């Protein structure tokens, strides 16, 4: 996926009510096959999988910690601002969607 394609992925980003994380959602409905997504993340060195369940994966990339849900929602912690959260979300989503398209998860 090119930088232009990444920028075109419509994301909704908002600060959570406790102000310690950002919630990121795609504007389009997504359903990820978490096992196939896990396999692709395991093949990468970054981000690192901290926790895996069939419903969500917790990842660490640098300082940022991301909880990726089966429906594509993300909760991103330990980032400085919305811009950094958006960058992390696009990187995670790019990998997750690549798994979906390569492995037929969508």
What are the boundaries of each domain within the chain?
3-103
Q: By the 8 A CB rule, do 32 and 95 touch?
A: no
pLDDT of residue 79: 97
Question: What CATH number does the domain located at 3-103 have?
Answer: 3.30.310.10
Predicted TM-score of the model (pTM): 0.84
3-class secondary structure, 103: helix
Spell out a b/e string for 4-14, using b for 16 or more CB atoms within 10 Å of the CB, else e.
eeeeeeebeee
Q: What are the tens digits of pLDDT across the range 49-105?
A: 999 999 999 999 999 999 999 999 999 999 999 999 999 999 999 888 886 665 444
pLDDT of residue 8: 61
φ and ψ of 101, to 5 deg: -75, -40
Give the span between the Cα atoms of 85 and 78, in whole angstroms.
9
């Amino acid at each position: 996926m090119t930088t232009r394609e990444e920028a075109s992925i419509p994301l909704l980003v908002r600060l959570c009510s406790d102000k310690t994380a950002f919630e990121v959602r795609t504007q389009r409905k997504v359903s990820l096959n978490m096992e196939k997504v896990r396999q692709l993340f395991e093949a990468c060195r970054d981000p690192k999988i901290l926790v895996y369940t069939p419903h969500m994966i917790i990842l660490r990339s640098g300082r940022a910690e991301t909880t990726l849900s089966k429906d594509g929602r993300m909760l991103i912690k330990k980032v400085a601002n919305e811009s950094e959260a958006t960058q992390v979300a696009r990187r995670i989503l790019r990998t997750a969607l690549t798994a979906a398209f390569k492995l037929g998860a969508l």
